[in-house]
Amino acid sequence: MKEKLSIVKIGGNVIGDPTQLTDLLQLFSQIQGHKILVHGGGKKATELNKKLGIETKMTNGRRITDSDSLDVAIMVYGGLVNKKMVAQLQGFGVNAIGMSGADGDAIKAHKRPVKEVDFGWVGDVEGVNSENVLKLLKSGFTPIFCALTHDGKGQLFNTNADTIAAEIAIGMSDDFDTTLFYCFEKKGVLQDITNADSVIQHIDSKNYQTLLNEGIIADGMLPKMHNCFHALQNHVKQVCIGDQTMLQEGSTNFTTLTL
């Protein structure tokens, strides 16, 4: 019987709201068994870019990372956001350890190939060093991963945090029964975007296709759902999407995804 592992990814709107973030970290601290937290910090990076006079470049909702923007991402994700979370979690009794993909050679990536758009220093994940992550978990540490990876040759990359969470979940699924939680500001995947309570409680491959065809799943939810099903197709046991209340014991008001 495999041990359970919970992987929780938190979104930018949660990170930007100190009260919400504290609530989430407190709920995360109460999760039993092994756990990993994954975070981005794009909104904070945009704020610092503005203060430093660095233009934030986006295309189709995706960030382009030039050298200056990468330095800001390293400072914000790996420093400011990560260390504050680690300190808060230590206050909640979690032996948290801050991680980028370069720490412990945890997550390797390569620079995204240039097609229609040059995304700059954005990394596409090649694989997770599950052996080293397992050593941390078995030693009683709770890894807190930021959205940075590396190529093993000295180069860091800005990498999508949803993707990192999915790849860590996949990488650890040989050793654990892994559940992946995507925490964001909505209660789940909504049937009606204008009705915050119209949560679709269960999505499998079949009704996922129907929801796509009907345009209910669209826009920013598309890449998130792609990561969800990519994880499920690669032996992750279950994926859940919702706000932080889904981390509470006995909570049911969120979206669960299975194959």
DSSP class of 246: G
Known binding residues are: 41-42, 63, 158
Instruction: Spell out a b/e string for 37-67, using b for 16 or more CB atoms within 10 Å of the CB, else e.
Output: bbbbbbebbbebbeeeebebeeeeeebbbee
List binding-site positions for substrate.
41-42, 63, 158
CA angle 237, 239, 243 (to 5 degrees): 150
CA 66 – CA 161 distance, rounded (Å): 18
Task: Report H helices in the chain.
Answer: 12-15, 18-29, 42-52, 67-73, 82-91, 130-138, 161-172, 205-213, 221-232
- What is the DSSP secondary-structure string of 75-126? IIIIIIIHHHHHHHHHHTT--EEEE-SSGGG-EEEEEPPPSSS--BSBEEEE
Contact 203, 241 (CB under 8 A): no
The Cα–Cα gap between 12 and 185 comes to 9
Which amino acid, 163? T
